[in-house]
A and B are shown apart, each in its own frame.
Chain A
Amino acid sequence: MTTTPSTTVKATGSSPGTPSGTEIRLDRVTKDFGLAAPAVDDISLTIRPGEFMTFLGPSGSGKTTTLNLIAGFETLTAGTIALNGTDVSDVPPHRRNLGMLFQNYALFPHLTVAQNVAYPLRERKVPKREIARKVAEVLELVQLTGRDDNHPSQLSGGQQQRVALARAIVFEPRALLLDEPLGALDRNLRSALQAEIRRIHREVGSTFVFVTHDQEEAMNLSDRIALFNNGRIEQIGTPQQLYAEPETLFTARFLGDSNVFELGQAALDRSIVWDGESWGVDPATVAAHPGVRAGSAIVVRPEDVEVAARRDEVPPGANAVRAVVRDVEYMGSYRTLLLAMGGRGLPGRTRVSPLRGDYAIGDEIVAWWRPGAQRIVAA
């Protein structure tokens, strides 16, 4: 049909393993369904060639709508979407040459595995012999060799999704869009297929855009994560950045567990005061976000919180708060203490190694951490 996609296909297909692929650039993209707030609200984002980008967020945050906008299933209210610099905002989905994986697999029930996988090739008028070769190749890639003549209904959920994956990459699309593809699978299958998807991303080397609401999945798979909230991108970065350096309270709470101390109006020069405790500040832990300068919450990860029996056991320079043990969860290699902190009994948690002695419910302890371990974020 058009010539641009086929040249791209060759570029990506001929050099597997090397990071190649398509850059996807979203510029001030807005989608308004006419509801109270736009589903996608003025998002700008560049997905790099060959990158594994995950759109993470709660349901209704706009991540799936954004993916559908890239795929072309929804029309833009405002803004532009460009693939490798070419504006595709008005190109219908079947001419965008993007592969797509759906949560419910969306395999054609009237076609066999091989026919499903051959579908996009037949649509592109690829010669018959070529089709047979490519189908065999890609079925081997997803480890489904020999199931050619099965119908989708004869396969398990995990196998079906692997057929869908084969079908979505066999025509060497400019990028692969994955819409919660593992959502319908049970836990064990999920992690197996996560590994599979990661491997295939490495081998194919094209751009992957993955949508999920599961933060663990996002952490496992992604080069970068775009965290969505209320139609906007809350924060974008590598999994480590998002976990270790959250810029907002939403990010801190969405990824992993946190101890959150909300501050009133506190000065941020040397020290801050929370519930009568005076704490030191490491300037490097103040997130660069402009709003943060006002200082609205302190976030400390549970694994950074240490426990002491008395205040004089806390090393000098550390920030400390008195706490009562509310519950103890045994997690095997470590234990989690659920705490009530300060005079107000703020819920908190910390991880302790079993070597550090026993704690019982009702014990009064002191929780402490180094100022460098805390993040000061905008609410």
Chain B
Amino acid sequence: MTSSPATASGPAIGRRRYTKVDPIPWWLKAFGGVVVIFFILPTLFVIPMSFSDAATFEFPPRGFTWRLYENFFTNPIWLDSLSNSFLVATLTAVLATTVGTAAAVALSRMQGRVARFVRTLLMVPIVAPAIVVAVAVYIAFLGWQLTGTVLGYVLAHTAIAVPYVVVSVTGALGGFDPQLLRAASSLGSSPSRAFVRVTMPLISRGILTGAIFAFIVSFDEVVLALFLRSPVFQTMPVQMYNSVTVEIDPTISAASSLMVVAVTIIFLLPQLLRGRARRR
């Protein structure tokens, strides 16, 4: 503490003085707080609702019961849609991660107009309105007899999930020093060995993030799923949609709470893994 007073106090004094001249106004902080509530609070409403005893969506919730969760985990309609979503999202994550990682690696090695054009083209699924994509895919899949099939879901979801993988793997490759590949080859690695031993481990976090994004994009996808559903195959978001529009089934509050908690956990997973890696 006392050994280096100059370095310790120098910037601190500067910062303190700066704040005095130019403080953050209190109303701005208050406004920030309100916005934060606007972002977070609505989603949290579903959790108390999921323990309600009422047969409707009335608020505030009445009583306390696990009935909705019980229903969710015993009703075959909910269970089937849940397992369908898991199946589709897992396959989508695998496919989109493979395809998207390959594309990101290729793009990182290419320069010029073509690469820029392809990069933009791969972003189209994110910016194109989901409903337009859904309508076009629906009409085409009707002809190809892919509606209501696992394959149809996986292909459609992969198409819109790939850009997320490309973005996150590209980000990881951005911090990758290409000199390392030269070093690897000077040490005896063929290009493919260098990819496995050097590139892969260094971008693995980007790939993992991409895979998680792809999983969530698919698991949570509503619009395409509404068009591709069939009476025998539908995903969880579609069942939730039905329970609001058709059935007025309060089980959706249990489903929503589970979704919120699940997505949060999946998101926190890499952070937790990172935390553990750092401690090690």
Contact = CB atoms under 8 A, between A and B. Distances in A.
A binds B: yes
B189 interface: yes
Contacts of B180: 106, 108
Given A104-B179, A106-B179, A123 B189 contact: yes
Contacts of B58: none
Contacts of B187: 94, 99, 119-120, 123, 167-168, 171
Interface residues of A, number: 27
A93 B202 contact: no
Interface in B153-189: 177, 179-180, 182-189
A169 to B, nearest CB: 11
B179 A71 contact: no
Interface in A307-329: none
Interface in B175-213: 177, 179-180, 182-191, 193-194, 197-198, 201-202
Contacts of B198: 108
B188 A124 contact: yes
B183 A102 contact: yes
Interface in A103-159: 104, 106-110, 119-120, 123-124
Contacts of B194: 94
Chain A contact residues: helix, strand, loop or mixed: loop
Interface in A73-110: 73, 92-95, 97-100, 102, 104, 106-110
A110 B202 contact: yes
Chain B contact residues: helix, strand, loop or mixed: helix
Given A110-B201, A110-B202, A94 B188 contact: yes
B188 A123 contact: yes
Nearest to A98: B186
A107 B202 CA distance: 12
Contact of B186 (A93, A107, A124): A93
B179 A92 contact: no
A97 B182 contact: no
A320 to B, nearest CB: 55
Interface in B92-146: none
A374 B191 CA distance: 54
Contact of A104 (B177, B197, B202): B177
B189 A94 contact: yes
B176 to A, nearest CB: 10
Contacts of B193: 94, 123
B186 A99 contact: yes
A107 B186 CA distance: 12
Interface in A209-233: none
A94 B190 contact: yes
A171 B189 CA distance: 13
B179 A102 contact: yes
Nearest to B182: A73
A92 B186 contact: no
A100 B186 contact: yes
A289 B189 CA distance: 45
A140 to B, nearest CB: 20
A106 B177 contact: yes
Contacts of A94: 184-191, 193-194
Contact of A100 (B182, B190, B201): B182
Contacts of A93: 182, 185-186
Q: Which of A71, A95, A98, A123 has the most CB of B within 10 A?
A: A123
A168 B188 CA distance: 11
Given A102-B182, A102-B183, 5 more contacts: A94-B185, A110-B201, A123-B189, A123-B193, A168-B187
Interface of B: 177, 179-180, 182-191, 193-194, 197-198, 201-202
Top 10 nearest A-B pairs (CB, nearest first) are: A100-B186, A106-B183, A120-B187, A123-B188, A93-B185, A94-B185, A106-B179, A110-B201, A120-B188, A94-B188
28 contacts: A1-B188, A71-B186, A72-B185, A73-B185, A92-B190, A93-B182, A93-B185, A94-B184, A94-B188, A94-B189, A94-B190, A94-B194, A97-B188, A98-B186, A99-B186, A99-B187, A100-B183, A106-B180, A106-B182, A108-B198, A108-B202, A110-B201, A123-B187, A123-B193, A124-B188, A168-B187, A171-B187, A171-B188
